Amino acid sequence: MKFDPATSLYDSMELGAYNGVNPTINDSATFAFESGEAMVNCFNGEGNGAFLYSRHWNPSGFQLSKALAAMEGTEAAWVTGSGMGAITVAILQVCNAGDHLISSVTTYGGTYAFMKNWLPKYGIEVTFVDITDLNAVKNAIKPNTKMIYTETVTNPMLQVSDIKELSKISKSINAKLVVDNTFTPMIFSPVNLGADIVVYSMTKFVNGKNDTTAGAICSSADFINEMIDLNDGTAMLLGPVLDSMRAANIQKNLYTLHLRMKQHSKNAMFLANKFVELGLKANYPGLESHKQHKLFKQTMNKDYGFGGMISIDLITEENASKFMTLMQNRGVGYLAVSLGYFKTLFSNSGKSTSSEVPEETQKEMGMSDGLVRYSVGLDNDIENTYSVIKGCLLELGLIK
């Protein structure tokens, strides 16, 4: 039977304390032991399910982690206070001083800055490549390569990673393949395609409310246990734990994710086709003109669509700025960073979420000064939204 993330998630649901239908919130930072011996056993890694301290495990975070593991098809998961918390912990658990990793050059600006500016200070070398060029990935391999890092659909260029082929490459050199699936939860199940570790900014589509920051790491039980080891686990010692009340709230939001992703995708597909009709340079994986459209279709989980992210190229920063301001004033959505919200969000990527990437590198990867990235919302009347967008374009003379 083919893996379905929503069905697996729902099958994992459990009643809370006192048979409550929602997850139980446990806001304790520390937990009592029945005996001194039990405490010693727990510190020795023999706790048998006992909770020690919320930087290690909290019952609320544990329940959310189990739900995420079910959704991803992994043995285990661990949740963090931000997406960058998840990304940095996963990288630092795998890579040590003297190691090398290969990353997609097209990636979230914060991830790029961490790899470009922070990792080298601690002796970890990074090579950035066009992740869609498998030969470039292979040519970047060194004897000390420990990781290949990519995003399922890259930010903001919307390239689609060939996870199956990247997995073959990583396994051939005994390296870990880490995939950020923030743009495409439920649409893709990277571990089932060969990834070793999946990371998320749950701030985005997973939570869907833009009311908190949160992250997740989904992988094997061995990897998660190593990551939270009391003595040398990166997650345990760096301490990016997620608050228990936020964990419970995110878990409740998780059960509507399949419906939200379908609506985000439906609306984005509609807008992408309309943008093409207007003669705009639109980029969306659901369009047959997209370079990796066939790859997306071959590796996606069916029925969830092609995601909620679109970009259009308005050539100049000035055009993008005027257009986004007018769209916000006309009620299309908000000129704001982030994504996955129920209202449409838009930003000029090169000057915002990818501003950490040097301008020359932006140009090398094909990022236009006028690139406008849309996170398409859950609008019930997307045709009306499109009419307003079209009116803004006409008023500014960006289309005829």
| β pairing state of 333-335 and 344-348 | parallel
Report residue 313's pLDDT band, with 50, 70 and 90 as the boundaries. very high
Q: Are 331 and 387 in contact (CB under 8 A)?
A: no
Report residue 361's pLDDT band, with 50, 70 and 90 as the boundaries. confident
In whole angstroms, how far apart are CA 252 and each of 27, 85, 128, 248?
17, 22, 37, 7
Report residue 168's pLDDT band, with 50, 70 and 90 as the boundaries. very high
Quote the pLDDT of residue 354: 62
Quote the pLDDT of residue 353: 64
What does the alpha-carbon distance between residue 305 and residue 296 come to, in Å, rounded to a whole number? 10
What rounded mean pLDDT belongs to the chain?
A: 94
Quote the pLDDT of residue 43: 83
pLDDT in tens, 193-250: 999 999 999 999 999 999 999 999 999 999 999 999 999 999 999 999 999 999 999 9
| CA 216 to mean position of chain CA atoms | 9
The CATH 3.90.1150.10 portion of the chain extends over 259-395
Query: What DSSP string describes 156-221?
Result: TT--B--HHHHHHHHHHTT-EEEEE-TT-BTTB-HHHHT-SEEEEETTTTTT-SSS---EEEEE-H
Quote the pLDDT of residue 365: 76
What does the alpha-carbon distance between residue 11 and residue 8 come to, in Å, rounded to a whole number? 5
CATH label, 259-395, candidates 3.40.1350.10, 3.40.30.10, 3.40.50.170, 3.90.1150.10 = 3.90.1150.10
Q: Which residue, among 310, 330, 327, 328, has the nearest Cα to 372 in the 3D structure?
A: 310
Please check the confidence at residue 116 and state whether its pLDDT lies above 90: yes
Q: Which strands sit side by side in the sheet containing 197-201, from one edge to the other?
A: 76-80, 215-219, 197-201, 176-180, 145-151, 100-104, 125-129
Report residue 296's pLDDT band, with 50, 70 and 90 as the boundaries. very high
- 397 burial type by CB count under 10 A (0-12 exposed, 13-18 middle, 19+ buried): exposed
pTM of this structure: 0.95
Q: Does domain 5-254 have CATH number 1.20.1300.10?
A: no
The CATH 3.40.640.10 portion of the chain extends over 5-254
Residue 286 phi/psi, 5° resolution? Answer: -80, -15
Please check the confidence at residue 42 and state whether its pLDDT lies above 90: no
Quote the pLDDT of residue 17: 87
Query: In this structure, what token pair is assigned to residue 157?
Result: 């260029």
Report residue 352's pLDDT band, with 50, 70 and 90 as the boundaries. low
Q: What is the mean pLDDT of residues 42-56?
A: 81
Quote the pLDDT of residue 322: 96
Comparing 178 with 362, which gets the higher pLDDT? 178
